[in-house]
Every structure is written in C-alpha cells, then in structure tokens.
Structure 1
C-alpha cells in the first residue's frame, strides 16, 4: 500500500497537493499566502508522513524534496512511533524526483502568531529577533468560517502593525480536507507537523521559524508540537525552534499584561460563541481572564468581569478539574478576594464528578 503525493502550484503564492491513498481514497489540499511559497514536495513531507505512519503504508513524494528534511524525518518517525507504538509505525519514504541539495537559509525569523497567550509572549519577548509573524487560517479556525477568519485576521494585522512586524498570512485546507478526514488526532499528533508544513513552504522568506510552546518543561508529555519533535521537521533552509518552556501560562499572561498591543488584540477562545474574538464563557476565556485579573491588567477583548454563574455551569473534564483547583490556589496566593467566584469554582469541580458518569 502507498500514499502518493503529487504537488502542484497555482502561481507563486498558491501551492497544493493531490494525495492518493489506499482503498482509492483521494484528497486535494491547497495552501495559499500573501507571500511566495515553496512549490516543491518538501512542505508536503511533514503534512503526509504522520498519516502514512498511522496507516502503515509507504509514502511516495512525486516531486523534488529537500535532502535534510528527508533525513530529519527519520528521527520524527522514531519519536512518534516511540510515543504511540500501537498506532504509528515507521514507514518507507520514496522520492520519485531528485533530492534537493542543501540551500542557504533566508535571514528572516518567523514566529507563528494566533493572537493567543503563547504567541503574544513569544512576539513580545523575542521582538528584537523576530522579523515576521505568521498567521494561519485553517487550523484553529476552519477555512469555511469566513466571519471568524476575517475577524481574527483583522486583529492579527493590527497587532502585527503595532508590533512593527510584517504579517505572513496563510490559508490552508490541510486540516479540514486531509488530516480530519483521515482521523489523525490534531492535538496529540498533527498540529506540529501541520505548522511545519507552513514553515517549509515559507523557505524563501524565513530561515528560522519559532513555534511558541503551550507547555513547560515540568509538564511535558507526548504532543503534536514538542521540543523534541518540532526540530525534526526542519529542512536545509528552515529550522524550527520550539521555545518558551521556562514559563507557564500564568507567568506568560503576567508578562503580556504589560503589552498594550497584547491587551488590545488577545484571542484565546476556540469556541467563539457569540461571534467575537473571545466568548468570555468558556473555560479558556475564564482562565485567561482570571490570570489577567490576578496581574491587575485590563484586556479589551475580555472586557467583562468573570461571571460566577457561568463558571458554575462550565463543563469540566478531569484535566480541567486540576486546573480549576490550581485556580483556587492562585487566587489565594495573590490575595484575590472573590468569595462568590471561589464557591462557583468549587461547585463546578463537584458538578464535574457527577457529569463524568453521564458525558462520554
């Protein structure tokens, strides 16, 4: 069995791939940008290899592919198969065209920028080093969600302008039209390789791309974007750096509270109930707003006080339960006097034990 990948281009700013898989399944994936993209097979290596590993089938790239990327992908396979030995197996990678020789990297340094806490922290603390910010529509925002896509892009454009950085804008169907239909877990496996696809495609602009970490050294676990895995998707012209593991989410929030740009354009919500950048009702919005309050900050995109009734009714899974307990500790440490909110958090924790027997 084989997964065959045939790259194509629609001009210098629009690349794609026709992907033929086992059982006659076929997919067409496209990625476009306001910057020129690499039309070789190299960007499609990280995009398709995890799927080939999941299926246990040979990956055939029908286009010129960077030699360093191919060598590094062996280590990526070792890591993924070591983490998930029952579900991901090392496979052969065949290249029908020539291996591309090593090239001199571009001088630019990019940083993925969703507008969230992690990416704002990197954008602020690495400001003097970063030359470009990279916004992707198609990963946390579906490509067919035009309204939210426009809202988030407009906010990212304003933030980038205020930070004095050019914004590289990417729109891709990689997740919606390939990874999701193939049922590759986004969080635990695929989001890192998907980011690497974008980084490799931008090789004529940036020689280094920063992937802001969502984790810390103390809490690392197998995850799609990881300090061990991300560098394995590097090519001869683009090096991926997984950064900022020394600080947790609260510490990062305390730092970006000092940035007016971050407080004017922060986007943390993935539920987006109500059509805004942040719904102010979900767990992630609550945790972020709490940390901003603890830091004594004010955020234009999370303008309303935390509603205890909303917190009390939130769905809390076991991992969030631990974070809610941590919230109580943080409130106590910072002398945050909010007895009604404290009771709401405790009620949400108790309620979560009951709900776990009914929600599957």
Structure 2
C-alpha cells in the first residue's frame, strides 16, 4: 500500500487533510482519503502524515498488503508504537503469517507543542459523558489535565445520517459549552472507503475503531497534547478489541498522547455518574437511529432499552425526557434486549430494579439470560446456524434480536 500526495489546505473556515491511497497487492481501486475539520485550526505536514499513517496501517495489514509506504516522514515515536499495535492485533487475531513491512521514514526533530490541552471523543453517549464528567471531578478548571475540548467525528459508522449527526452535535455543542468545553467536529472517509469490505464490522470492532479516532486527533497535534478514548468495557470483562488499554496508547506520537479512559468503571457506574448530572441526563444520546421529533433517542433498540433499564434501576428514567416513553415495559425489554452483547449490564442492574419495585422486569431478564446461554429454541437455532450454515442466518437476518450480530460499541 502506498500513501502519497499528503497535504493540507484551508477551505473557508475548514481545515482539510488529503492523501492518496493505492493498493499494491489487492485489485482494489485507489482512494482519495480526507479528514475535514470544521473550524479554524492549525495543521502541519507532520500531523497530516501521522494521521494517514495510523489510518492506513491496519487496513494494509488485515487485507494482506506486503508493505506500507508513505511519501512523507512521520514521528519516530509513532513509528515504533504502530509496530507494537500491529503485533498486538496479530497476536490476538492471527491475521497473517508475515508482518506488514513499514517502509516509513521518520523526522529528525520534534515539533514544538503550541498548547497543553486535554481532549476526549464525545458522542453524547454513556461512555463519553462519563469520561467528561469524571475528568471534571478529578481536575480543577485550571489544570492541564482537565478536558477543555471534545471531538465528534462523522463517517466512521453505518446507519447514522448526516442530518442526525448535525442535529445532535448542534445541541451537544451548546451543552458542553456550559461546562467550559469546546466541541470540535470532523468528517472523514478513512474507514468509509473500505466499510463495504468489512461484513459484520469485524475489522472495525476488533482492530480499527481506536485507530480511526486517534488518526483524527493526530491530524491537529498543535491543538492538543492528550486525548482520551472512553472505554466501552469494564476491566473484568475486557477482551481483545479495537479500542483497548493495551492498544490505544500505541497510537501516540511524541506530541500527542492517546489514552484509554475509565476501564475501571462498569456501564452501570457510568450511568450513575450521568444520573447525578442534570445537564448530562437531559442530553444523553445513546443510539444513532433517527429518533422521533423532540427526542434524542429512538427508545426501540438494544442500546436504548439497556440504558432505560439502568435509569429505571437508578430511579432516573421517569421525567428524563430522553425517550418516547418514561417507563420501561417488560414486553419492550424482552423484545429489544439482547444479553449476547453486554450480559453483565443486565445482571448488575437487576438488584437495583428490585429495589425500585420493578419486579416485573425480573422475568424478562431471566428469559434473556437463558437465551444468552442458548438453553431455549432460539439458542438451538443460533447453534445450528453457526455449525451448519456458517452464521448465514445471523448475517441475513441480523435485525432480528435473537440472531443479531454484536453491535458497535459507541463512545
């Protein structure tokens, strides 16, 4: 794989990084990659090279390219770290026999850091809200460790429309401003151009989501020196994944450190943190489905229902205005719940539901748990699909709850 024509340019109030990607060992057509930042930001040749180095390394490895070469030098710290990241991914998933050759030059001098600014990625979801709120509890307003900028990126997920993204970020921009935080939005095609070659989001979820986020931040290193990627897992259920405490720091350069944040918090603990903040609770956005008018969330998907269940357990759902309904019904939980995804979230919340007098939700959780352990007819169907059909039913009818594929873990 060759990355050439790396450059940046300013278009009115936007900064755009560009690069040309050409495959060498695959018959795929070449691509023009970009990262577009909305706002008057400063760029550098090194930042652009670092960004596209991260963006290209993993697809070059997983699709069997013999080498990756760039026509511009990158940070030597990042060059070393990317090698470690690729080794971790190959160790976890046995993606190839021979390592990817990184034919990449490095710069001889470090660039001066303009400002010490901590940032985090922000979608308005449970993980990103918890990271922001917890950070602001831990660091005083004048401390460089306090998050002062958040980043929201369009183009890394299927299903979300540009209209939905723009509407949500317009609201969230005003919301985080109340916390003294600037929301920076960006758009990119660094994953979109090979998204269709990634059925079931296998490479995205297991190898690329942390890298894609880090690449966007590395494009503007003069704007920040530390960026946090909110963990989507608790340490007790941690598994090899595309954003991981061993992996995310490997996308750090000398000028910009990337950290995996809040691995010690369960999703219920994060939801409790949000429930304690009226501002966050009123603007929690957990799904990317187009919601009904006047709401942030659809209320009819697994992530919505799981969040509603936790808010019920915390006594914070009623009156929140987050979903089209403010009471979780057993039939809704049974229809949209799926413990194949995050079964510990359901089990950890059950005692709180009982304390809230929601005994009617116990039976649906027990049924979902039995399905997750594959002890009923639906479990038999899933086993037969895996063993005899190679997962064809799950891929073909993935929208059906008991056959659904693992969801994207949002920030």
TM-score (ref. length: structure 2): 0.79
- Secondary structure at the residue paired with 1:153? helix
- Secondary structure at the residue paired with 2:222? coil
Q: From 280, 290, 302, give the equivalent of 1:283.
A: 302
| Separation in structure 1 between the aligned mates of residue 291 and residue 219 of structure 2, nearest angstrom | 33
Unpaired runs of 5+ in structure 2?
141-145, 383-392, 395-411
- Secondary structure at the residue paired with 2:321? coil
| Separation in structure 1 between the aligned mates of residue 96 and residue 174 of structure 2, nearest angstrom | 42
TM-aligned CA distance change 1:315 to 1:142, over 3 Å:
closer
- Secondary structure at the residue paired with 1:223? coil
Q: Which residue of 2 aligns with 1:171?
A: 187
TM-aligned CA distance change 1:215 to 1:316, over 3 Å:
closer
Q: From 202, 206, 211, give the equivalent of 1:193.
A: 211
TM-superposed CA distance for 1:268, in Å, is: 0.7
- Secondary structure at the residue paired with 1:169? strand
Contact 2:267-2:345 at 8 Å conserved across structures: no
Q: From 36, 40, 57, give the equivalent of 2:42.
A: 36
Contact 1:132-1:165 at 8 Å conserved across structures: yes
User: Would you say 1:8 and 2:7 are equivalent positions?
Assistant: yes
Q: Which residue of 1 aligns with 2:176?
A: 160
Q: Which residue of 1 aligns with 2:76?
A: 67
State how many pairs are aligned: 355
User: Would you say 1:26 and 2:49 are equivalent positions?
Assistant: no
- Secondary structure at the residue paired with 1:224? coil
Aligned pairs for 1:203-214 within 5 A? 203-214=221-232
TM-score (ref. length: structure 1): 0.89
TM-superposed CA distance for 1:343, in Å, is: 2.8
TM-superposed CA distance for 1:4, in Å, is: 3.6
- Secondary structure at the residue paired with 2:296? coil
Q: Which residue of 2 aligns with 1:305?
A: 327
**Which deviations, in whole Å up to 9, do the C-alpha atoms of 1:255-279 show, x marking residues without a partner?**
1211122112111113445475311
| Separation in structure 1 between the aligned mates of residue 322 and residue 306 of structure 2, nearest angstrom | 14
TM-superposed CA distance for 1:232, in Å, is: 0.7
TM-aligned CA distance change 1:230 to 1:89, over 3 Å:
farther
What is the CA RMSD across the aligned residues, in angstroms? 2.5
The 10-residue stretch of structure 1 (192-201 or 83-92) with the greater mean CA deviation from structure 2: 83-92
Q: From 261, 267, 270, give the equivalent of 1:252.
A: 270
| Separation in structure 2 between the aligned mates of residue 319 and residue 93 of structure 1, nearest angstrom | 35
| Separation in structure 2 between the aligned mates of residue 88 and residue 173 of structure 1, nearest angstrom | 29
